[in-house]
Chain A
């Protein structure tokens, strides 16, 4: 193939002029009776060179080139297989991870809900406990005050009774005292006293010792 009259820059990459107005550098195939011009081929090569692999698009191919291409194809297939397996594995992994996260979120949600419910229950419990306690206090207080009232009444009446009793007692005593003070010994009483005295005198005379008891007397004899 003849060398193109406008040698394209050999930097291996397309540049802006490829997109510009210069038709000879364009990727668009110019009209030709003898197939594609070499400039077009070198553009094709340059495009191929943009790929991350080393590929011939024109010139002569040796057996070596073919063998290497076969090896490269095998290697690429091997990589493709690995990547495909990796891809399915990763997608499985990500799905599972997503599930895990979802479940974790569910667990956290449940925990939070339980917390709220527990707080609600605690709140209810505390209000009803407070209500009950106030009721209890009311009842206890009421009963205490009632008891106290009754006790007061009781005390009052007890005091009254006690004072009545003591008054009555005092009156009776007084009455009794005045009566005894007033009372002169009756003739019957005097007579009895005289009889007792006489009896004592007689006994004293009889047993010389006077007022000595019977045991003392027995001792004297012994």
Chain B
């Protein structure tokens, strides 16, 4: 079985939404905004402004996003089914595909959406899952 690290990097547990990072060798490290278990859009987590944008946006709705700093609590292993450049993350309702060096994502059996301003961050086993910049 193959697994990826699913890290709720910027998350509100009460409202079940926020930005999660996914660490998986074949796809690198990427971040997606989830709302109620549905992937909405990808987020460039290298850009502090982008993080700030979402923090302020949800803050105005009365939702505080918390930094996921607890390994083992804010991070978890999730199952990956890898089939010909199509990656199914069944536990988190996500499918990602790689086509012509561009990544697409969708909820399971939903519409494909292309990653915006896609930033490839090479996967590497890091000292700290939390401190990936």
Contact = CB atoms under 8 A, between A and B. Distances in A.
Main secondary structure of the interface of A (DSSP, over half): helix
B56 interface: yes
Nearest 5 pairs between A and B by C-beta?
A75-B69, A71-B67, A78-B70, A71-B66, A64-B55
Given A72-B69, A78-B70, 17 more contacts: A52-B131, A63-B59, A64-B55, A64-B56, A64-B59, A67-B64, A67-B66, A71-B66, A71-B69, A74-B69, A74-B70, A75-B67, A75-B69, A75-B70, A76-B69, A79-B69, A79-B71
Sorting the interface of chain A by its residue count into under 10, 10 to 19, 20 to 34 or 35 or more gives 10 to 19
A68 B67 contact: yes
Interface in A25-80: 52, 63-64, 67-68, 71-72, 74-76, 78-79
Interface of B: 52, 55-56, 59, 64, 66-67, 69-71, 130-131
Contacts of B67: 68, 71-72, 75
A61 B67 CA distance: 17
Contacts of A52: 131
Interface of A: 52, 63-64, 67-68, 71-72, 74-76, 78-79
A202 B101 CA distance: 167
